[in-house]
Structure formats: structure tokens, C-alpha cells
């Protein structure tokens, strides 16, 4: 089977171009016969782009992410543990794939249409089963911006009940700031997709492989959702656990610490949102817990001493700065978020 590949450029920046893959397998004859009409239909739905050609290509010729098996039927793509920039193109989050006997589920979509396409190519190198669901662990762009590609591939997009509102509230600001961070070319063809369905607690049976979905109380964000594979004791934590890259607080530091302190004897390993995976539980979550505990302690001390937020956020720990990627940028933001939360305690 072949896939249709479009060469597209930004209308506003004609020198910035990229290949985009349409995630529908086609026979060689169908690809040739339908290419023009399919390209025109896709383009009509994606304003701001110009078409500079199209071709039919086998997936093996296209960029693919690397998938590592972490349990029977479960695979992880390891993101680069750094803040998004023009070198890593925002591809910093760990992404998951679950392949059952009947269907496939994807856990997080990556930072762009381009990253999602490369994840799709990696999945199709292993299996032709239908991609039934894309599960988003939370709203942040590095996890969610590739979602539209999987909808096009036929997946239902699932997330926590508050995910849609979280994305809607921030979509405009993200589309203003994110292209400058990762480069306009990295986002060609990327558009924000809202989930089809909110799930508080749910089960997804892929045929011999069952995933349990749980929307969590406000912690990293107010729309965190975890994915558990009971057969292997594997929990995809999303950004409830970070390693190497500093945790970013966009929800509640007390809620996050509550989540980390909860005993979970059913867990054998976790796949965190960032950094090496899999990791043992609870050891793998310890750096996140240590950082957030100290953050909360420091901010409570500052508030008790009557120090203003502007002063509290300047307080840093050299050992944290040495240990965590992104500390200089993310720590002051975390401190101000924690201050705003804890001053009302
Ligand atoms: Zn996040």
C-alpha cells in the first residue's frame, strides 16, 4: 500500500515548505487516480498553505519515530528531555502505543502534525490494525498538537472531561507563541484538535489488551488523565511524572503532591511524560516528588515571612539547577504558580 504525500509551503513565507502525509493507505492505482482530488480537498481544509506537488510513497520511505517495547503490546517513543526549541522541534514528550489483537490505541500525539505522522509511520511499520483511539494525557502542545493526524487516520480522540475547555482557553495563545519557539516550518499543517469525548473513568479493550483510563484531580494541569495496563502493571502517567526535564506546574502543587503520595501497589512500572522510560514505581517518581515538595516548602516559608512573590521566585537551589533541564526558565514560573496557589491556604 502507498500513502499520499503533499509538498506544502506557507503562503505567507513561500520558502518554508514541508512534506505532509495523509494517513490513508491506498493501492497504487487508487493513489494515482485520486491524488489530485484528495490533495485539493485536504488543502481546501487547511488555509494558509500552498501546494507544490504530490506523490504516492511507501511508508518505509517516510520519516518514522523509534518505538521501544516496554511490555507485551506496549511501546514508547522517547522524547528529548529539553524545553521546546528550533532544534528539537518540540519533540520532547514521551509517546505511547498499545497494539492489541483487534485495534491500536495511541497515547499522546506529539508536538506537531509532522511528529504525529512519524509516529503513524512507526505504528504502521508494526501493524495494519485500525487505530481506534488517541488518548491525550493532558492539554499541553508537546503532547496534543499532533492529534488532528490521528483523527484523520480514523481514531476517536479521548481525554479528561476538562481537556476540551483547557485546550480551547489556551489555543489562541499557543498558536501565537509556539511557532516562534519551535519554528514556523515545524508546524506546517498543524492545527489544534479538540477531543471527541471526555472520559472520567473508562476501559478500552483492544482485543487481548485492556487499558484503564482515569481522569485525575487537578495536579500538573486540571485535565490530567492516566492510562493503566493492568496485565503488565504499567502506568502511562503523562506529565504527572517528569525526569531530567524540570516539572512544570500548570495546575495545583498540593494536588500534584497528593497524587504522588497515593499508594499504588498495583503498579510495577511507569512511563513518565518526559525522560527515560519505563521506570520503577515509586522510585521513578521520586525526583518529581522531591522537587515539588521543596517548591511548596520554600513558597510556604516565603509567604509566612511576608516576602512578596517577586522575591520568592528568585530563590533557587543550585543542586536542582544542575540536575534539571529547563530549570532557569521553568522554576520561576513554577514558583509564581505555587505562590498564587499557596497564599490562600
Ligand atoms: Zn505537560
* Residue 246 CA, ligand 1 centroid: distance in Å: 11
The answer to whether the peptide bond before residue 16 is cis (omega within 30 degrees of 0) is no
* Residue 81 CA, ligand 1 centroid: distance in Å: 12
* Residue 226 CA, ligand 1 centroid: distance in Å: 13
pLDDT recorded at residue 244: 97
* Residue 7 CA, ligand 1 centroid: distance in Å: 31
* Residue 215 CA, ligand 1 centroid: distance in Å: 15
* Residue 328 CA, ligand 1 centroid: distance in Å: 17
Residues 198 and 50 in one domain: no
* Residue 186 CA, ligand 1 centroid: distance in Å: 19
* Residue 128 CA, ligand 1 centroid: distance in Å: 30
* Residue 230 CA, ligand 1 centroid: distance in Å: 24
* Residue 156: burial class (beta carbons within 10 Å; 0-12, 13-18, 19+): middle
Residues 170 and 120 in one domain: yes
* Residue 206 CA, ligand 1 centroid: distance in Å: 26
Task: Report which of 15, 159, 179 is spatially closest to residue 90, judged by C-alpha positions.
Answer: 179
To 10 degrees, what angle do helices 253-261 and 286-304 make? 140
Residues 270 and 185 in one domain: yes
Alpha carbon of residue 252 to chain centroid:
19
Q: Residue 79 has which C-alpha cell?
A: 522524547
Residues 102 and 184 in one domain: yes
Residue finishing a domain among 36, 61, 86: 61
* Residue 21 CA, ligand 1 centroid: distance in Å: 26
Concatenated DSSP letters for 294-316?
HHHHHHHHHHHTT--HHHHTT--
Task: Report which of 230, 194, 299, 237 is spatially closest to residue 107, judged by C-alpha positions.
Answer: 237
Residues 140 and 206 in one domain: yes
Domain containing residue 80: CATH number: 3.60.15.10
* Residue 125 CA, ligand 1 centroid: distance in Å: 28
* Residue 144 CA, ligand 1 centroid: distance in Å: 10
Alpha carbon of residue 268 to chain centroid:
22
Reading phi first (left if > 0) and then psi (alpha if -120 to 50, else beta), residue 233 is in left
DSSP 187: G
CA terminus-to-terminus distance, the chain? 59
Q: Considering the domain boundaries, does residue 287 fall inside one? A: no
pLDDT recorded at residue 61: 93
* Residue 16 CA, ligand 1 centroid: distance in Å: 28
| Gap between the Cα atoms of 212 and 203, Å rounded | 5
Task: Identify the bridge partners of residue 75 per DSSP, sorted by sequence position.
Answer: 69, 97
* Residue 6 CA, ligand 1 centroid: distance in Å: 31
51-67: b or e for each residue (b if 16 or more CB lie within 10 Å)? beebebeebeebebbeb
Task: Report which of 196, 252, 243, 240 is spatially closest to residue 214, judged by C-alpha positions.
Answer: 240
* Residue 50 CA, ligand 1 centroid: distance in Å: 32
Residues 46 and 145 in one domain: no
pLDDT recorded at residue 329: 96
* Residue 70 CA, ligand 1 centroid: distance in Å: 22
* Residue 140 CA, ligand 1 centroid: distance in Å: 5
Q: Are 99 and 124 in contact (CB under 8 A)?
A: no
Helical H segments across the chain, by residue range: 28-44, 113-124, 141-144, 147-152, 163-182, 253-261, 286-304, 309-312, 318-323, 327-342
Q: Considering the domain boundaries, does residue 98 fall inside one? A: yes
pLDDT values of the chain reduced to their tens digit, one per residue, 345 residues: 999 999 999 999 999 999 999 999 999 999 989 999 999 999 999 999 999 999 999 999 999 999 999 999 999 999 999 999 999 999 999 999 999 999 999 999 999 999 999 999 999 999 999 999 999 999 999 999 999 999 999 999 999 999 999 999 999 999 999 999 999 999 999 999 999 999 999 999 999 999 999 999 999 999 999 999 999 999 999 999 999 999 999 999 999 999 999 999 999 999 999 999 999 999 999 999 999 999 999 999 999 999 999 999 988 899 999 999 999 999 999 999 999 999 988
Residues 205 and 337 in one domain: no
- CA-atom Rg of the chain in angstroms: 21
* Residue 26 CA, ligand 1 centroid: distance in Å: 36
* Residue 239 CA, ligand 1 centroid: distance in Å: 5
Residues 15 and 31 in one domain: yes
Q: Are 157 and 203 in contact (CB under 8 A)?
A: no
| Structural domains of the chain, count | 3
Residues 171 and 309 in one domain: no
Q: Residue 42 has which C-alpha cell?
A: 485536504
To 10 degrees, what angle do helices 286-304 and 327-342 make? 50
Q: What's the angle, vertex CA 154, arms to CA 152 and CA 160, rounded to 5? A: 95
* Residue 2 CA, ligand 1 centroid: distance in Å: 35
pLDDT recorded at residue 345: 86
pLDDT recorded at residue 282: 96
Q: Residue 343 has which C-alpha cell?
A: 497564599
Concatenated DSSP letters for 47-102?
TTEEEEEEEEE-GGGS-----EEEETTEEEEPPPSS---TTTTT--S-EEEEE-SS
Domain span including residue 338: 292-342
Q: Considering the domain boundaries, does residue 331 fall inside one? A: yes
| Gap between the Cα atoms of 76 and 97, Å rounded | 6
SS3 state of residue 199: coil
Amino acid at each position: 500500500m502507498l500513502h499520499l504525500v503533499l509538498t506544502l509551503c506557507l503562503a505567507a513565507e513561500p520558502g518554508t515548505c514541508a512534506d505532509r502525509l495523509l494517513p490513508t493507505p491506498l493501492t497504487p492505482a487508487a493513489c494515482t487516480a485520486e491524488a489530485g482530488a484528495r490533495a485539493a480537498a485536504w488543502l481546501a481544509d487547511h488555509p494558509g498553505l500552498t501546494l507544490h506537488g504530490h506523490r504516492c510513497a511507501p511508508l518505509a520511505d517516510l520519516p518514522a519515530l523509534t518505538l521501544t517495547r516496554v511490555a507485551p503490546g506496549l511501546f514508547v517513543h522517547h522524547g528529548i528531555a529539553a524545553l521546546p526549541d528550533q532544534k528539537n522541534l518540540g519533540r520532547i514528550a514521551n509517546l505511547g502505543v498499545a497494539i492489541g489483537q483487534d485495534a491500536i490505541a495511541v497515547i499522546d500525539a506529539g508536538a506537531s502534525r509532522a511528529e504525529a505522522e512519524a509516529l503513524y509511520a512507526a505504528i504502521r511499520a508494526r501493524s495494519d490494525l485500525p487505530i481506534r483511539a488517541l488518548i491525550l494525557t493532558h492539554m499541553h502542545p508537546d503532547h496534543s498538537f499532533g492529534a488532528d493526524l490521528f483523527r484523520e487516520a480514523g481514531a476517536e480522540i479521548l481525554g479528561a472531561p476538562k481537556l476540551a475547555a483547557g485546550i480551547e482557553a489556551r489555543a489562541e495563545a499557543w498558536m501565537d507563541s509556539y511557532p516562534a519557539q519551535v519554528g514556523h516550518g515545524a508546524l506546517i499543517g498543524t492545527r489544534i484538535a479538540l477531543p471527541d469525548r471526555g472520559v472520567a473513568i473508562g476501559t478500552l479493550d483492544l482485543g487481548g489488551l485492556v487499558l484503564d483510563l482515569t481522569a485525575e484531580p487537578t495536579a500538573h494541569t486540571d485535565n490530567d488523565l492516566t492510562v493503566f495496563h493492568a496485565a503488565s502493571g504499567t502506568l502511562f502517567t503523562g506529565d504527572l511524572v517528569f525526569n531530567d526535564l524540570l516539572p512544570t506546574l500548570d495546575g495545583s502543587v498540593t494536588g500534584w503532591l497528593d497524587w504522588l503520595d497515593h499508594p499504588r501497589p498495583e503498579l510495577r512500572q511507569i512511563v513518565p511524560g518526559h525522560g527515560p522510560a519505563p521506570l520503577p514505581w515509586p522510585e521513578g517518581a521520586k525526583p518529581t516528588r522531591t522537587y515539588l515538595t521543596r517548591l511548596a516548602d520554600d513558597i510556604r516559608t516565603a509567604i509566612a515571612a511576608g516576602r512578596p512573590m517577586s522575591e520568592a521566585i528568585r530563590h533557587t537551589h543550585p543542586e536542582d539547577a544542575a540536575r534539571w533541564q529547563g530549570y532557569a526558565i521553568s522554576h520561576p514560573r513554577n514558583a509564581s504558580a505555587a505562590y498564587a496557589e499557596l497564599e490562600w491556604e
